[in-house]
Amino acid sequence: MQETIKIVVADDHPIVREGLVMILNLQDDFEVIGEAQNGEEALAKVASLVPDILFLDLGMPKMDGVQTIQAMQAKGLSTQVIVFTAFDTDERILGAIRAGAKGYLLKGVAKEDIFNAVRVVHAGQSLLQPEIASKLVKHMSNPIGKLSARELEVLAILAKGAKNSEIAKELFIAERTVKFHVSSILSKLGAKNRTEAVQVAVKRGLIDLGNG
């Protein structure tokens, strides 16, 4: 008897979510057992339903895709994640893969590629679309991304031990914007945390702690 692959689909756009569910249910060996419209709900569904695969959008409310994957890892959940998103930037891809995603597909991909991704990831392998794999290889061959002028400003203040709220006040920008910049800085520098980001930046001559 053929094994059924149990799937949860998480996307905050109902039309996209319902369309993906419909496509997945075309396969006799697939069964969509749950849906979620935000990251917190996705985490709860995975914890309670224990699916084999989670199709996960990155840009969701309450908890984004990367945070959801990280929370799953922290809870020791074994469900494999396939990112299904419109985001194709190097930072987004790298962030998701580092967090633990086993597949990365862009919305608009052919349904045959979706079916293949489910089976490949369920078999314990990783799968990236050719264009995504190309971006990832390019990034890994030059892991230190170029920081923007604003990111360098944020980094310089961050290096002084400032909190996000303090950086936001000094640069006259929203704290949420600061969080975005800090996340981008960590990704581009290949750093796991703020302290490591500062260490990498100093080694590369991006900042000089001696200047206060």
pLDDT above 80 (res 142):
no
pLDDT above 80 (res 20):
yes
Average pLDDT over residues 96-122: 89
- Which domains are seen in the chain, by residue range? 5-140 (3.40.50.2300), 149-211 (1.10.10.10)
pLDDT above 50 (res 41):
yes
Q: Where are the alpha helices (DSSP H) in the chain?
A: 14-24, 39-49, 65-75, 90-99, 111-122, 130-141, 149-158, 164-171, 175-189, 194-203
At 116-136, the pLDDT tens digits run 999 999 998 887 766 666 555
Listing DSSP states for 44-58 in one string gives: HHHHHH--SEEEE-S
